[in-house]
Amino acid sequence: MLRNLSSLSNVVVTVTELNRTVRELLEGSLPVLWVSGEISGFKRYGSGHCYFSLKDANAQVRCVMFRNRAALIDFEPREGMHVELRAVVSLYEARGDFQLTVEAMRPAGLGALFEAFEKLKAKLQAEGLFAAERKRALPTFPRAIGIVTSPRAAALRDVLTTLGRRMPGLPVILYPCPVQGAAAAGEIVAAIQRASSRAEVDTLIVCRGGGSIEDLWSFNEEAVARAIAACSMPVISGVGHETDFTIADFVADLRAPTPTAAAELASPDRNQWLNQLQQQRRHLERSFERLLQMRMQRLDSLARRLRHPGEALERQRERLFTLAQRLSAAPTRLIERRQGQLAQAKLRLAHARIDHGYWQNQLSHRQQRLQRALDRTLEQRQARLHNLASRLAALNPTAVLARGYALVEKTDGAVIQQAAQLHAGDRIRVRFADDAVEAAVTSKPAQQQDLF
């Protein structure tokens, strides 16, 4: 490398040294520049490097863009395309060719579009059109879905295919409009307003396929953003590819990365809901089966504890019979005991010197007391027997029926205790004091009313 340029006149240099010095002078003295022009002779080699010329009306310059930089371009450069290059001014030493080493490429005018994009974005954000609190939730089961796009757009076919796969039979209404060109923004606004005023759908999809920033620019227009914000139903924006962002994406209630994704967000998945419904049905069946088993076990337990009224009556009848036997035998035993005492007293009297008159009076008095005691005991036992007989009669179902009540049973003899046990159409037997009749339940009685 030549370090002292002032001494070049006294030094003989090689071509290699000359070219290297010129390259270093160019790269060291000029900053990285943005250069605009028209692509000419563009070639992309198998290595991934790109070679072309950039020209205008009066001049041209050779350009090279290496593979790592070329992979970052989001569009396909074409012959005659006007572009803007961010490049380093350099010299290819091997041939001494003046060239630009390109670091970035964009379509001409893209800088102005980005500036307009950021300016409108900041304005609408300041007005609150991007605020999360104004975003509306999508209906889980929409009755119809609207689509704002071009009838010839590939995005429409993708959306319709996805909707048909996820929820066949879901009504779809197309609000046709161009999605590219100078007049597209106004047509898009009119289509959104038409969908909003008709209110035929629950969810509106605004979509189109991918493209350059110029192709998508209609969705960066302020009028389109305000139409989306004023729409009466939730709006899903599905514009371009996943890496594309437009003003419509920020204003919409939900942004989808692609039109297909917008259709998936707008429609329920029929198969998923059917599977979930099937799972819920199986869960409900298992829960009902467990509940039924618990109720059956409880019913069995109650049935073991439940005893027929006739059993209680039989036990009372046996107890009453025992008491009656004991009551009837009590005076006899008492008389026998008193007679034994009297016999003993007579024996003692026979062996003793007694005043017959005095003891005769005592004996007569004792006999009178004994007779009165026997009479009282007999009256008490008879009164108790009468009381027990009355209680037994009160427990007798036949006696209850004789007072005007009736006993309601099922045809198998099971006693009906509550109206809730009956259902319309059940056959029942109504038992009265003198006879029983068959009857049918014609309606389910109210819970607060009696059966009869």
* Spans of all domains in the chain: 5-108, 113-268, 309-395, 397-452
How far apart are alpha carbons 220 and 150 in whole angstroms? 17
So what's the architecture of 113-268 in CATH?
Answer: 3-Layer(aba) Sandwich (3.40)
CB of 97 closer than 8 Å to CB of 91: yes
Residue of 178, 159, 261 lying closest to 221 (CA atoms): 178
Three-class secondary structure of residue 113 per DSSP: helix
Which pLDDT score, from 0 to 100, does residue 2 have? 46
CA angle 141, 147, 150 (to 5 degrees): 160
Tell me if domain 5-108 and domain 113-268 are identical in fold: no
Helices 356-395 and 309-350: crossing angle in degrees, nearest 10, is 180
CB of 152 closer than 8 Å to CB of 136: no
Which pLDDT score, from 0 to 100, does residue 452 have? 42
> Which residues partner with 145 through β-bridges?
172, 203
Which pLDDT score, from 0 to 100, does residue 29 have? 81
Question: Distance from CA of residue 129 to its chain's centroid?
Answer: 30
Residue of 439, 431, 408, 432 lying closest to 421 (CA atoms): 408
CB of 452 closer than 8 Å to CB of 406: yes
pTM (two decimals): 0.47
Dig out the tokens for 118 from the structure: 């950021």
Residue 66: which region, alpha, beta or left (left: phi > 0; alpha: psi -120 to 50)?
Answer: beta
How far apart are alpha carbons 361 and 189 in whole angstroms? 137
Give the torsion through C-alpha atoms of 189, 190, 193, 199, to 10 deg.
-130
CB within 8 A of 94, min separation 6: which ones? Answer: none
Which pLDDT score, from 0 to 100, does residue 264 have? 93
CB within 8 A of 228, min separation 6: which ones? Answer: 192, 206, 235, 237, 248, 251, 252
User: Which residues of the chain fall short of a pLDDT of 70?
Assistant: 1-10, 109-112, 352-355, 399, 445-452
Dig out the tokens for 430 from the structure: 């109504």
How far apart are alpha carbons 386 and 324 in whole angstroms? 10
So what's the architecture of 5-108 in CATH?
Answer: Beta Barrel (2.40)
Residue of 182, 186, 185, 158 lying closest to 172 (CA atoms): 158
